[in-house]
Amino acid sequence: MSTPELWEAKRKVLKHPAVEYIPLYPYPIAKGRLQEHPDTVRLTVLTNPGEYEQLQNELQLKKHFVDFSESLVIAVKNAEVLEIKYRGFIVWTFARLEPANYHIFSVTRRYFYKNQLHWQLYDLAGELQSWYNLTL
């Protein structure tokens, strides 16, 4: 989904031509309202079934199978991810801030060519809201 605000945020944050980034598709798992309303945006990358089961229990989600040999699960609180780009060690996520909401989705692992990843979540103003370091 592209909007003028999203386009401006990408222009502000991404320093290379668009063709130098790998677009990643967020495969939807769940969206909903948080029972507790923390003020901060939080991005977490889950790499194994145990972490995912804990998240499902915490948010009272329906059980949804994910093959962690092929995918990663990303949990975002207080925002909805609209677009994801990858290059080198960095994964840029662009999101609309949505207080008291969560967005859970998966992305394929097949495009990651580095073992160390630094995930960054930006709002539509191009401001860094959250980050997460990951070793695959």
pLDDT per residue as tens digits for the range 104-130 = 999 999 999 999 999 999 999 999 999
Judged by DSSP in three states, 78 sits in: strand
Q: Tokens in use for 31?
A: 């969206």
Question: How far apart are alpha carbons 120 and 131 in whole angstroms?
Answer: 4
User: Looking at the whole model, is its pTM more than 0.75?
Assistant: yes
Report in angstroms the alpha-carbon separations of 111 from 30, 95, 124.
23, 21, 25
Per-residue model confidence as pLDDT tens digits over 45-98: 999 999 999 999 999 999 999 999 999 999 999 999 999 999 999 999 999 999
- Can you tell me the distance from the alpha carbon of 130 to that of 88, in angstroms, rounded to the nearest whole number? 19
